[in-house]
Structure 1
């Protein structure tokens, strides 16, 4: 995942739902100013490595799984459209605000990596 672009920040996200906690690694990846939506650019790179799309609302987000590994899922989100819950995860809010201040949002993808256990 770190070879997708320049990782400018990272954090861990913890979400609770119905008594189950999900822990995800979250990478903020600066893809530079190349043409095309940032989500598509990241997804194209992952597709070339054997990932396939499981859902999307382009150009806002795309979900992918690695072929042969049903437990590993990635959600690619455009920085400008990324939404988080400050009440549930205040650390995420701090990281998002910092990245939005320092980098051009149209060039940054939020890559959420979740492994089911």
Structure 2
């Protein structure tokens, strides 16, 4: 089963985090371990700002998004391919961006 993990964070908090370099190193090690086990499919950071394309009453409109007041945003993601939901949760609980920083992770099962 494949899962998408969306990594959320507050850019202002992240930029002021004195342990940021250690967290980045821990994420690199996390990614290395999952690559070696064959469970990591891909991992990438996202560059913003994102745009929102939405259709309401007419043709699709492009905007900066409906979340202008929200401080947290998706900053990166990874995709894993694991044997069970329990293993996916185990990996999510070990992610250094959650365990060693102020981020959050959202886990989605992917359709094949």
TM-score w.r.t. the length of structure 2 is 0.34
Per residue, is there more strand in 1 or in 2? 1
Structure with more helix by fraction: 2
Structure number with higher relative contact order (C-alpha < 8 Å, ≥ 6 residues apart): 2
